[in-house]
């Protein structure tokens, strides 16, 4: 029997969709203007609202987060080697490798799952030009420690903030740290523009370079003054972004309600530990990621299979770590890789369904399946 008929399929990153009428109004106006891309009215308005929201001087949209990372890396003149965590979505590493920069994988902090600042210095060589921190599962990196290391060695500091739109750290919105920060507005993220991304910075010169780079280096209609690519966001994506901007607070509240429901239910299941968010900071509460410990009767993979059989599509984010994926795995065959915390965490974590379409009843159903 088709199980999806009994229970709907539950996904980890089910898209948050704002007010449809408002979105369609934006799209109607866009058609009336006959302006579909090339930094139109909606993209410019979206960038203005993004910068206001996160409190940065600049926020430049891109067609997706990966392209944003690639452009940011180039604009920061990253070359040679760049240190980053292996425990991240593979796009963080690919964005560097794609342009001939060698990703050097560093271990993570046991509590936050973000890059461990105490492990970074041992990876620094004369070839190192930068550090990429990833605010994983909406939880910020130790930005101060990373900035101190970057300053000490004259390195650039870039943050992959794909998971952390709408979050704060030390009372300041994510987007304001390092040289620049890159968001992803992919459909699975807390805040989406179908596909999309943005680079936030308070550095005027860097912002100007990024703006040029994401539009083939065009300054004026016929004037190309820089090497560039096509990293532009379309108008329809900006329309979705603008629509969803009006829903940020309600999405946050729904996510928090869902997270709290998981937390309450999981407290009664020995061996399952849900990630924690700092109570005194703003979070988007978008990730219900658990660690499956030794006291739980099933391994993480056994639990995942059990949930999948019930159409609960929990994900092993981000197993097995980038260093175990190609092309990095083969490139590192002759090197001893020592990332014990990455290995341990990657083998234990499971992302549970989240997003605004997940209801309290869905969560009770998931909890029931997990309670054995
Ligand atoms: C940590 C991280 N970095 C980068 C990306 C890439 O973003 P995009 O899909 O918008 O290219 C993602 C997810 O998609 C991600 O999870």
pLDDT tens sequence across 20-54 = 999 999 999 999 999 999 999 999 999 999 999 99
DSSP at 136: G
Percent of the chain residues topping a pLDDT of 90: 94
Q: In this structure, is residue 264 part of a structural domain?
A: yes
Mean pLDDT for 78-87 is 98
State whether 225 and 151 are in the same domain: yes
Q: CA–CA distance from 284 to each of 86, 113, 158 (Å)?
A: 23, 17, 21
The Å distance, Cα 135 to ligand 1 centre, comes to 11
Q: Classify residue 261: in a domain, yes or no.
A: yes
How far does the centroid of ligand 1 lie from the alpha carbon of residue 117, in Å? 22
Q: Are β-strands 102-106 and 81-85 bridged in parallel, bridged antiparallel, or unpaired? A: parallel
Whether residue 2 is predicted with pLDDT greater than 70 in this model: the reply is no
Tell whether the model's pLDDT for residue 224 goes beyond 80: yes
What's the domain range around 331?
A: 248-370
- pLDDT for 3 beyond 80: no
Asked if pLDDT for residue 362 goes beyond 90, the answer is: yes
8 pLDDT band, cuts 50/70/90, is: confident
Q: Are 257 and 146 contained in the same domain?
A: no
Report pLDDT digits (tens) over 184-203.
Answer: 999 999 999 999 999 999 99
Q: How many domains are contained in the chain?
A: 2
Q: Which of 62, 115, 167, 184 to mutate to test the pocket of ligand 1 (most atoms within 8 A of CB)?
A: 184
Domain end position, chosen among 184, 213, 245: 245
Domain containing 191 — which CATH number? 3.40.640.10
Answer yes or no: is 7 within a domain: no
Which ligand 1 atom sits nearest the alpha carbon of residue 196? 10
Q: Is the CB of 186 under 6 A from ligand 1?
A: yes
- How do beta strands 81-85 and 128-134 pair? parallel
Mutate to test the pocket of ligand 1, among 70, 137, 186 (most ligand atoms within 8 A of CB): 186
Kindly state whether residues 174 and 202 are assigned to the same domain: yes
What is the number of the ligand 1 atom nearest to the C-alpha of 188?
14
What average pLDDT does range 319-327 have in this prediction?
96
Could you tell me if 261 and 364 lie in one domain?
yes
Residues 324 and 188 in one domain: no
Strand partners, 157: 131
Q: What span, in angstroms and rounded, lies between the C-alpha atoms of 315 and 357? A: 17
Question: Would you say residue 332 has pLDDT above 90?
Answer: no
β-pair partners for 220: 223
Q: What sign has the CA pseudo-torsion 87, 89, 93, 96?
A: negative
Does 197 contact ligand 1 (Cβ within 6 A)? yes
Give 105's strand partners.
84
pLDDT in tens, 126-171: 999 999 999 999 999 999 999 999 999 999 999 999 999 999 999 9
Centre of ligand 1 to C-alpha 329, Å, is 20
């Amino acid at each position: 029997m088709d199980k999806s008929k009994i229970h709907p399929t539950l996904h980890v990153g089910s898209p948050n969709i704002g007010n449809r009428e408002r979105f369609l109004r934006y799209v109607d106006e866009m058609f009336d203007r006959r302006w579909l891309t090339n930094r139109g009215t909606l993209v410019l308005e979206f960038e203005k609202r993004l910068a206001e929201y996160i409190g940065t001087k600049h926020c430049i949209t891109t067609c997706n987060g990966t392209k944003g990372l690639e452009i940011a890396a180039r604009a920061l003149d990253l070359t040679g080697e760049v240190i980053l965590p292996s425990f991240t979505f593979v796009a963080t590493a690919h964005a560097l490798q794609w342009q001939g920069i060698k990703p050097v994988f560093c271990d993570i902090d046991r509590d936050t799952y973000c890059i461990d600042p105490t492990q970074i210095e041992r990876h620094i060589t004369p070839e190192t030009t930068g550090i990429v921190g990833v605010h994983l599962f909406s939880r910020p990196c130790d930005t101060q420690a990373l900035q101190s290391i970057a300053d000490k060695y004259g390195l650039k500091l870039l943050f992959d903030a794909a998971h952390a739109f709408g979050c704060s750290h030390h009372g300041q919105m994510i987007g304001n740290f390092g040289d620049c920060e890159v968001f992803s507005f992919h459909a699975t993220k807390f805040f989406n523009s179908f596909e999309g991304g943005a680079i936030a910075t308070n550095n005027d010169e860097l912002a100007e370079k990024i703006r040029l780079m994401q539009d083939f280096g065009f300054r004026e209609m016929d004037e190309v003054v820089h090497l560039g690519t096509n990293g532009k966001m379309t108008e329809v994506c900006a329309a979705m972004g603008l629509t969803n901007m009006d829903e940020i607070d309600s999405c946050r509240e729904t996510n928090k309600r869902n997270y709290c429901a998981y937390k309450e239910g999981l407290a009664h299941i020995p061996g399952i530990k849900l990630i924690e968010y700092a109570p005194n900071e703003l979070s988007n509460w978008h990730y219900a990621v658990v660690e499956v410990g030794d006291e739980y009767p099933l391994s993480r993979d056994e639990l995942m299979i059990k949930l999948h059989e019930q159409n609960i599509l929990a994900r092993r984010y981000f197993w097995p770590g980038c260093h175990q994926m190609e092309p990095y795995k083969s490139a590192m065959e002759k090197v001893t890789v020592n990332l014990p915390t990455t290995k341990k965490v990657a083998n234990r974590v499971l992302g549970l369904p989240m997003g605004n379409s997940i209801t309290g009843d869905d969560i009770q159903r998931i909890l029931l399946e997990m309670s054995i």
